[in-house]
Chains A and B, each alone.
Chain A
Amino acid sequence: MNAVDAPAPETRARIKKKSDKPWQVVVLDDPVNLMEYVSRVLTNIFGFSREKAEELMMAVHQKGRAVVWSGNREKAEMYVNQLHSAQLHATLDKAE
């Protein structure tokens, strides 16, 4: 078995910094889900105000995607599960 050198301190710091980045819940645009429905789902799942939900819905519609939540992976997966259950196209991303 070959010995594996431990990463240099700077590398360790970079790895730690990357793994500390929060996970993002991303909603993707699709031509099927009605805009009002998307707003309603975002309100129901995340508790957003109507204004906030509509703002995010418009971002999804115009930019093709929007980050709607960020935090730890476990909770982000729970939210994506709920979005999929509502038949919205959603995924997880690591924050840049």
Chain B
Amino acid sequence: MTVGPTVAGGLKLVPETEHDWMLLIGIAGDSDSDLAGRLAGLMDEDSMWDEIVAPELAEEFSKQRITVVKEVMRAKEEEDEIHILKGSVDVWYGALNQARLALEDKYRFGAREDVDPKMLEDSSARAAYFRNNFYSHIQGLLLQYVMGD
């Protein structure tokens, strides 16, 4: 996959293999649909966060995942590039973040320098680790090239 900034101030993703497409489609698959519930768990019961705020956040997070999958599927069907522009960058960043938060919750990678090499002997953990790093790298590029002032 080729990834780079565009003159329009966006980021271009050019998948080249089936594996690249699967990697992008996997963003939604890696995401945890209960992020809103887990964030609500940080609040005290008096706030009624579960009932009042979490459902709205869950819907917002769901929209992010659906939008990204739809865009990837559209690009795949049309054999097109994916352009992430300012107008859609929050959705992409959020979907990638959801995937990373869910992977972290499942595998507990921690900071990159703290990763236990033994954990990576497991093939699914190793694959998840590389996907997590890929998502993080794309997020870094979004911050650098698209979300800047």
**Chain A residues close to B by CB (< 8 Å):** 28, 30-34, 36-37, 40, 77, 80-81, 84-85, 87, 89-92
Q: How many Å from the CB of A4 to the closest CB on chain B?
A: 22
CB distance A37 to B47 under 8 Å? no
B39 part of interface (Cβ distance < 8 Å): yes
CB distance B43 to A80 under 8 Å? yes
List chain B residues, Cβ under 8 A from A31.
104, 109-111
Q: Known contacts being A32-B100, A32-B104, A36-B143, is A87 close to B35, with CB within 8 Å?
A: yes
Q: How many Å from the CB of B93 to the closest CB on chain A?
A: 8
Size class of the contact patch on chain B: 20 to 34
CB distance A87 to B94 under 8 Å? yes
Q: How many Å from the CB of B99 to the closest CB on chain A?
A: 10
A43 nearest CB neighbor, chain B only: B149
Query: Which of these, A34, A81, A89, contacts B139 with CB under 8 Å?
Result: A34
- Interface contacts (Cβ under 8 Å), in number, total 49
- Beyond the given pairs A34-B143, A40-B147, 4 more chain A to chain B contacts, judged by CB atoms under 8 angstroms and listed by A's residue number, are A30-B101, A32-B101, A80-B43, A85-B57
Q: Known contacts being A77-B47, A84-B53, is A89 close to B109, with CB within 8 Å?
A: no
B94-149 residues with Cβ-Cβ distance < 8 A to A are: 94, 97-98, 100-101, 104, 109-111, 136, 139-140, 143, 147
B101 nearest CB neighbor, chain A only: A32
Query: Which of these, B60, B98, B136, contacts A85 with CB under 8 Å?
Result: B60
B42 part of interface (Cβ distance < 8 Å): yes
Q: How many Å from the CB of A19 to the closest CB on chain B?
A: 13
Q: Known contacts being A32-B101, A36-B143, A40-B143, is A81 close to B109, with CB within 8 Å?
A: no
A76 nearest CB neighbor, chain B only: B47
B111 nearest CB neighbor, chain A only: A31
CB distance A84 to B39 under 8 Å? yes
